[in-house]
Each structure stands twice: as structure tokens, then as C-alpha cells.
Chain A
Amino acid sequence: MDKIRINIKAYPLNGNAATLQPASRERAWLDENGHAAHLGCDIANGQGWNVLCPCAFEATWNGGPNIEDIKIRVDKLEKGIPAFVQSQLGGGILTLHTGYQIKPDAGYRLWIRGPINEPKDGISPLESIADTSILPCTISINWKFTRPHQAVRFEAGEAFCALLPFPKQDFDNVGVDVMQIGEDVERYQQNLQEMTDSAVFHHLLRRMGATIADSRELLPNISIWAHRLHNPPAVSCICPASERIDLLEEAIYGFLQQDYPGEKELIVLNDWEGQTLACDHPNVYVVNLPRRFHSMGEKFTGISIGIRFYKHPTWAGGQTCPSTNIFADSCGAIMSDHMTIFQNNLYDLAHNLATRYNGKVAFWIIWNEPNLANEFSPQDSNLGGGFDWRVH
């Protein structure tokens, strides 16, 4: 699919026009707090073009209604050139001029707003829309002080405005339908089908190695979508359970009901101190944690799990433990008095583990302390020890 290119023409009005540059996805404050990957901000961050301060300035509002109630101190002011930051309106509103007339391609308007996801203490940007679909507009942006006697500083090169072109007709006739599943199942399924048929969704799946067939054949007990998706990538979902344990069964049931044709697993992170959870479904893994996470951010990013296998897991062909004692001799054993069989079993176990956890393991540790008699004692077929690796 060819990308639509939109051109924006910017006409400098004087020698003090601000610098224009594409918006960056990075935000230092997001990275510092470890939130960047989980707030879903990065795509929004990179939208549009930013306008940068040509020089640093500080402004303070004394709380009054007049133009003179805002004091501005600009670090560098060229004589004979209008200052890009001015108090023109009163009411604690600061006006910043881009120094341009701007005209996107025909049919596009310009959304003028503050830098996306760049909050600033003491002052807030006001958003406006300029109809640039026919004629170029002189672009400025207003910021409203949020409290008096707070000195606000913008640095040279700091973004003070973001420009977003958008089609003129896009928002003119937008309606919202709230779909209740029980009311119109057929329409709900149709909408779901349209969503999964979208080019963006297909692109994402193809990037992960899947192929999508054209077939629209209807099959019993399987959705068209599940039928069309070949080589589906394995999917892991994290369910951060907390105090609302009563909703967990419903969440697990909903997950298992999804007719996703590929391998899928649900990892339930339980940090509720009052209860230890268990689930014996092979696609659901419960991780009981010893303490509460302080935030959802920590819950998603601060997890480093070391998994240690003492016995052959049942999903890899091991025996079911007859009791809660995982160290019982026959429980899930891979041992054999025939060493060749033992070696084959160990190869298979490693192969199965690697297949299951490919891409999720930073490094692998095989066995534990073989130089201790109670960990490695081959002569009496008590091989002890076990697989041991850590996931980061």
C-alpha cells in the first residue's frame, strides 16, 4: 500500500522564525520512569512537527487579568524583530509565535497544540484548529498559566508547539455506536471481522511470521479468521491479577475461549499477599509472588524470573506427581537405569524446553553442582539435580 504523503509549506515572516522539526518518539521523563513501553505513548509522541523556541525565556504571571500582569524575560532579543513570546491577551495567557504562515496540502486543516506528552509545570497549552485547507494561516499558540507567581522557563530549542495536519472532512461526520454483544451478535462478529481484516493488523502478523490465506470458506466450530491464519506466532499474555481475584476465573475463561489458532499462554502474576493461586490448565501459568508490586509499571517491567526444573514437566512427557512432594522419587522422573535412554530423554527435554521458551530465555544453565554427591550420582541412577535456567 502506497503511503500518502502530505506536504506542509511554511513561509517565514521574519528573521526570527522558529525551527521546525519532526516530532520525536522519545520523551526523557517517560524513559526515566520506565513507562515508555507501557503507556502506549510512543506512536503519539512521533506525530506531526514540533516548533522549537529560538531562544530561552522565562515568564511569570502575578494572577491579574491584564496584559501587564505577565512578566517576560527573554535571554536574547534581536532588535527590530518581533519577539516570538508576548503577552497580548491578558487573563494569564501567554502567546508564542511560530514566525510562519503555514499551508498544508489542499483539503487539510492544521491542529495546533502543545508538544505531545510533554507536560510542563505551571502552564498548559491551549489547542486550536486552523482551517488551512484553502489559504495559509499565521500560526501562533497560546499557553495558559495554571497558577500565579510560578516562574515558567522554556529553553532554547525546546518544543513549544506541535502541528498536526488532518483531513478537513474527517471529523465532520463522526458517529459512535456502542455495541452490546448480546444485542446484535451478527453485527458484532462482522465488526470484529472487519477489524481483523485491517491492513495494519495483517502487517503486524506478517512481521511475526504468519501468513494469511484468502479463503473465506465457512467451517464448523472455527472462525473464518482462525481458518485463514497460517503459521500463527505464539502469543503470551500477562494477566496482572491483584485483589479482584473474583474476576480472574472469568478472565482465564475468556482467554481460553479465544479461537486463536496458534500456541497461546496466559501468565497470571498474582501479587495478592493473602492468597496463593493455582491453575492446572496447560496454557495457564500462575506465578505467585511474595509481595505486592508498588505500581503497574513495576509489575510489568520489574519482573525477572528464574525458573528451575527439578523434574520432567508433565507437558514435556513427565509423570504426574502423586502427591505435593515434588521431590518424590517417581514424580515426573526422567531417570532410567538405562543410560542411553536417560540421555535421549534429557535431549528431548532440552529440545522441548527450548521450543517452548525460545526467545524468552536470556541464558540457560544445565544441571546443578555436579561435583556434589547428592546432586550427581550416576552409578546408582540417582541423577538428582535438574535443569536450571533464568529468564530475564
Chain B
Amino acid sequence: MTGEYIDLVQTPAHSGLLAVIPSALTVGPELYTPNGGGQVETCDYWHEVTGDSSPAHCMWRYGTGEWEDAMLRYFSNDFPIFTIHNYSDTDSGSRTAVADLWNNVMVPLGKQRQIWVTEFNFPGKGDGTCSLSEQTILNYTTSLYNLMANQRAFYFALEDGGSCGDGLVRSKAFNWAEKSTLYPGFVHIVTGH
């Protein structure tokens, strides 16, 4: 699977970019990572077809899955900055995901590099519980930025989507109204005001 991804997607697209912009900065591979606790929730297409739930195709924790290991072991030049997505229940879960990637994969392979969390939010997206209040999400977000070991983190997303209301503003149906706590709280994180 990892080889197919590189052959079908990464290599042709990366080549097309570099043909025009030799210095283009490409980051990736945007791997979805599980809650820092470690339940099975991240399976690739091979699992879909064969039911194979081995660590090669369903990530339990970093260091046991194939995707992140293969990307760094064999294709590290494609990813000078390594990116992941994480939707843990708490900020500590997100930090655990980053720490596991660093300690259990990058260091043993000698492939240390910047880690960007290019999507994060709370709680686990898609679980439909929407159990966390704006204040709790803001507290976790603030803590994540204060304590993070990764270099960048991108809040996803600006507006509400799906069943879980974790955007900084509400959806179009609500005229994108700013969340009373989350929006000014995030602005404070970014600007200090």
C-alpha cells in the first residue's frame, strides 16, 4: 500500500511541482493518527479489502504501524517536514501521538525532522458525541500550543462541519457566527490580544 501511494500519487505530483518550481517546499504525508490512547481506528484500504487488522494496516500506536515507518524509512527525502493529523480526546493525547512518532519511529530510524500537526481538534472527530464545551476545547487548544513539541499545529477547521461543532465559527446556516468563547480565545492565542 505504501509503495502504491508513492508510485501513484506522491512521485508524479511531486515531480510535476518540481518541474515548475525546483525549490517548492512539499510537506507530508498527512497521515491520520489515532487517539494517543491507542485504540484501533486507523485502517487503510488493504484492511478494507482483506480484513487484515495487523499493525501494518491498522495503526495502534506509533512504532507499530507500517505507514509512518515506511514513509520515513524508504521515502524520507519526499517529506522534509513530516505531517500528521490528530483528533485526540485531550491535548495530552495529541502530544502523545507526536512524542511516539519522534521516539518510536524517527529516532530509531535516525530520520528526525520537523513534525507539523496539520489538522487537530477535540474531541475525536466523527464520533458524534460533541461532548466537549467550547471552553474545554479552548483549554485543550491553549495547552496544546503551550506544551507542543511539534513545530506547527493547524486548528481544523474555521467553520463547523459534520455533527460535531468544533469550528471557530458556526456553519453557513448560522451565518458563520463567531463562537463566543472559541473564536476570541483562538484569536488571543494567535495574536496575544
A residues near B (Cβ < 8 Å) are: 273, 276, 290-291, 339, 342-344, 346-351, 353-355, 358, 361-373, 375-379, 383, 385, 387-388
B25 touches A364 (CB 8 A): yes
In the bound complex, residues from chain A placing their C-beta under 8 Å from that of B29 are: 367, 370
Chain B contact residues, CB within 8 Å of chain A: 1, 4-5, 7-17, 19-21, 24-32, 42-45, 47-49, 59, 65, 67, 81, 83, 85, 118, 158-159, 169, 172, 175-176, 178
Q: Which residues of chain A are near B44, meaning CB under 8 Å?
A: 370-373, 376
Say whether B30 contacts A369, CB under 8 Å: yes
> A369-B32, A370-B5, A371-B59 known; A351 and B16 CB under 8 Å?
yes
Highest count of chain B CB atoms <10 Å: which of A290, A343, A378: A290
Closest A-B pairs by Cβ, 9 of them: A350-B16, A290-B176, A354-B20, A373-B48, A351-B16, A377-B45, A347-B16, A347-B12, A369-B32
Q: Give the residues in chain B near A344, CB-CB below 8 Å.
A: 12
Q: Indicate which residue in B8, B14, B30 contacts A339 across the interface (CB closer than 8 Å).
A: B8
Are A369 and B31 closer than 8 Å at their CB atoms? yes
Contacts of B169 in A (CB 8 A): 290-291
Residues of A within 8 A of B19 (CB): 351, 354
Considering the chains assembled together, what is the distance between the CA atoms of A74 and B116 in angstroms? 56
Given contacts A290-B158, A370-B29, A371-B59, contact A350 B12 (CB under 8 A): yes
> Are A363 and B67 touching (Cβ within 8 A)?
no
Q: Beyond A348-B16, A355-B20, is A379–B45 a contact (Cβ under 8 Å)? A: yes
**Which residues on the A side are within 8 Å of B4 (C-beta)?**
378
Nearest B residue to A276, CB-CB: B172
Chain B residues whose C-beta falls within 8 Å of the C-beta of A346 in the assembled complex:
8-9, 12-13, 16
On chain B, the residues within 8 Å of A358 by CB distance are 20-21
Collect the chain A residues with CB atoms within 8 Å of residue B59's CB. Answer: 371
| Min distance, Cβ A270 to any Cβ of chain B, angstroms | 12
Residue of B nearest to A274 (CB): B175
**Is the CB–CB distance between B45 and A376 below 8 Å?**
yes
User: Measured between C-beta atoms, what is the minimum distance from B97 to chain A in Å?
Assistant: 13
Q: Give the CA-CA distance A326 to B132 in the complex, in Å.
A: 31
The complex places the Cα of A363 from the Cα of B30 at a distance, in Å, of 13
- Let me know if A364 and B31 touch, CB within 8 A: no
CB distance from A146 to the nearest CB of B (A): 30
If A354-B20, A375-B32 are given as contacts, then 13 extra A-B residue pairs at C-beta distance below 8 Å, sorted by A number, are A291-B169, A347-B15, A354-B19, A358-B21, A365-B30, A367-B10, A367-B28, A370-B9, A371-B44, A373-B47, A376-B44, A376-B45, A378-B45
Whether A373 pairs with B28 at a CB distance below 8 angstroms is: no
Q: How far is the CB of A340 from chain B (nearest CB, A)?
A: 10
Contact of B8 among A355, A368, A378 (CB under 8 A): A378
A-B contact pairs, 11 of them (CB 8 A): A347-B15, A353-B17, A363-B81, A365-B83, A366-B9, A366-B14, A367-B10, A373-B43, A373-B44, A383-B9, A385-B9
Q: Give bound CA distance, A354 to B19, whole Å.
A: 9
> Closest chain A residue to B78 by CB distance?
A366
Chain A residues in 8 Å Cβ range of B5: 367, 370, 376, 378
A residues near B158, Cβ cutoff 8 Å:
290
In Å, the complex CA distance between A375 and B83 comes to 16
* Nearest B residue (CB) for A372: B32
A373 to B58, CA, bound (A): 10
Do A363 and B25 form a contact, CB below 8 Å, given A376-B44, A377-B45?
yes
Cβ-closest chain A residue relative to B175:
A273
Chain B residues with CB below 8 A from A347, complex form: 12-13, 15-16
Instruction: List residues of chain A with CB within 8 A of the CB of B9.
Output: 346, 366-367, 370, 376, 383, 385
Give bound CA distance, A348 to B13, whole Å.
Answer: 8
Chain B contacts for A375, CB-based, 8 A: 32
- The answer to whether residues A354 and B21 also contact, given A343-B12, A363-B27 and a CB cut-off of 8 A, is yes
Which A residues are CB-close (under 8 A) to B45? 373, 376-379
Instruction: Quote the shortest CB–CB distance from A267 to chain B (angstroms).
Output: 18
Which of chain B's residues has its CB closest to A382's CB?
Answer: B45
Closest Cβ of chain B to A228, distance in Å, is 28
